[in-house]
Amino acid sequence: MAKSTSAQQSVSTVYLDPSRPIAERVGDLLARLTLDEKIGQMRHTAQAIPRLNIPAYNFWSEALHGVAGNGRATVFPQAIGMAATWDPVLIEKIASAVGDEARAKYHEALRRNGSTGMFQGLTVWSPNINVFRDPRWGRGQETWGEDPFLTGEMGTAYVRGLQGDHPKYLKVAACAKHFAVHSGPEKLRHVFNAKVSPRDLNATYLPAFKRLVTEAGVEAVMGAYNRTNDEPCCASQRLLVDTLRGDWAFQGHVVSDCGALTDFHQGHQVTKDVVESAALALKAGCDLSCVCTYDHLGEAIERGLITEDDIDRSLERTLATRFKLGMFDPPDDVPYAAIPMSVVGSPEHRQLAYEAAVKSIVLLKNKNNILPISEQARKILVVGPTAASIEVVLGNYHGLNASLTTLVEGLVARVPEGTVLNYQQVCPLTQQTEFEDGALAVASTADVVIACMGLSPLLEGEEGHANLSDENGDRAQINLPPIQVEYLTKLALSGAKVVLVLTGGSPVALGELEDLMEAIVYVWYPGQEGGTAVADVLFGDVAPSGKLPLTFPKSLEQLPPFEDYNMTGRTYRYATAEPLYPFGFGLSYTRFTYSDLALDLSTIRAGESLSLRCTLTNSGAIEAEEVAQIYLSDLEASTVVPLHSLLGFRRVHLKPGERTVITFTVTPEMMKMVNDAGKRVLEPGEFRVTVGGCSPSERGVRLGTSAPVSEVFMVTA
């Protein structure tokens, strides 16, 4: 039944010869393995093979915003915060730093222990590029926002930084997850069937995955827990076979989410038992099982459900990844093996974390220019449950660092001497208990009250991680916890001038609080330098430049049901309801002006490109950065298309009075729409291009962003 019942040692050990092609080396190693040894390599905890001097290897490592779960590491802002930087150049630098730290820690663990365990490896299961379609999803903080183009840009930069640019070796192996159509609810993920149209699938849910596979060369893809259109994602003919390996020619390996294959028979009930589940996943091209199931592959062979050839096919892919990482080569041959431990938490990486935290901060409101805080302020009060919280600095899937700076620590370090700064927690994060009324009298006499409120990874996250969530990590409501709303209302009504500093990884509906606050800044889960970055922005050492990577709805009433994966009414691309804060929104301490938008032609033929130019001016008195955004609207489409689609963006640094000309080319591919059959086609008709500091939105202009400029052009057959 089995092709190989014992290992056959060849005269020349090809698999140990770094000069030979990887395919030959993999083939040679496969020929040496017994069937039992092969099966021992099919789970994420790949077993040691002592007779071939191959140590055990654990594929499970995480690096969403730094090396996670493995002690010391630089802690960068959570992914959604990095998305708010709209700075792919910075993101690639950050990912390269993360890859350096993962490499250094892997080799140090190998030297000390002779093998590596969970979270100590070079196969990092990051980034998460699922579209953040609904603010209730607790894991949205791990994503790069609601827009497929922005997600693709930032995710591609992250993968390139992680994997490096060596012609032979990977620095680490990145993993695009969770493939595909996966964004909650967490409570249902083990049984849920996401129903999605061909149009939404190809217009929203797949584009970022395609870019990471075809452009960034991501080494691994992780399947999702749920079903998509009736097929378990980790065994989907449509997703894994037809699309991933067929249309996109993916050459890397596929790993299941952890425990997802058990869901086949226990949750989705598409198979009768664990053996059938293992066989179904393997035949569809799921090459590696996390946690479960693949130790039953021998039984699947005995039942005739699979053959050893099926195992070999998948094992060739996972072994190829390990060869690309240099795991079977002398360390002297692998340049990344020489990365020293001194890079871990280095000053250079700490500076990157600071820059990312600063650029991620989004100024949502600044009434009467209360920010930046005047150096003449003599009395400042800091309140709130997130001010001294380490959890809100870290986010989920995080590392640790001796230099973690909370919000209040950053403020204390920055406040000018002679200014009195005091801190009181005053109210809890969420429990509806009495708060300290005594602080209200003090607050009314302060020059400014910095209220650190919002969400925490205790309230939102993955199933089993957010201990204070009643929805397995999701949020049933998107407003602030009632105790926070009550305190902030009383604080404002007491006469205090409140600067609201919101932490979180997802949109927050503010209701009447929006009018009561003097200023509002959203700081996400800002990483180890978060406290310093927030203080520097509040005191004006640097101007805020972050832009929202998602829409903030006014209320849940504006959203479709959580379980509905149809994009109608969702995100800035399809929603018609006026938002609280639109996608791409973010104010500055200066004023930017967009003018003189000019197209090189007003009419083009289908298949031709269109060039544009636009002048951006810093019309204010403060040096700052602006993220100029380019959107396209198809005005005469034959089916449902996005109201607006982000095509590109530029992060520009300008001194007061300085101007620059932004140029951009709209390609034929950008003009294509996705039809009802899921095909990308270019239809003749009228299009509008818009350039501005926010997605096209009357609400954005009323809130203070500069008016965008637009022009219409025609595409003829």
Catalytic site residues? 257, 460
Of 204, 192, 220, give the one whose Cα is nearest residue 149: 204
- Residue 335: cis peptide before it, omega within 30 degrees of 0: no
Q: Which two tokens stand for residue 377?
A: 């302020």
Cβ neighbourhood burial of 464 (10 Å; 0-12, 13-18, 19+): exposed
8 Å CB contact between 675 and 639:
yes
Kindly report whether the peptide bond that precedes residue 656 is cis, defined as omega within 30 degrees of 0. no
Q: Nearest CA to 586 among 378, 355, 308, 364? A: 364
Of 155, 160, 186, 154, nearest in space to 173 by CA: 160
Sequence-ordered list of residues with C-beta below 8 angstroms from that of 672, at least 6 positions apart, any chain = 680, 681, 682
Helix (H, G, I), strand (E, B) or coil at 372: coil
Tell whether the torsion through CA atoms of 530, 536, 537 and 542 is positive or negative: negative
Distances from the Cα of 460 to the Cαs of 470, 557, 561, in angstroms? 10, 20, 18
How is 644-660 classified by DSSP, letter by letter? -EEEEEEEEEE-TT-EE
What are the residue ranges of helices labelled H in 341-476? Answer: 347-360, 391-394, 407-414, 438-443
Distance CA 477, CA 481 (A): 9
Could you tell me if 275 and 305 are in contact, meaning their C-beta atoms sit under 8 angstroms apart?
Answer: yes
Residue entry with tokens 């609400």: 699
- Going by C-alpha positions, the residue among 118, 142, 108, 125 that lies closest to residue 58 is 118
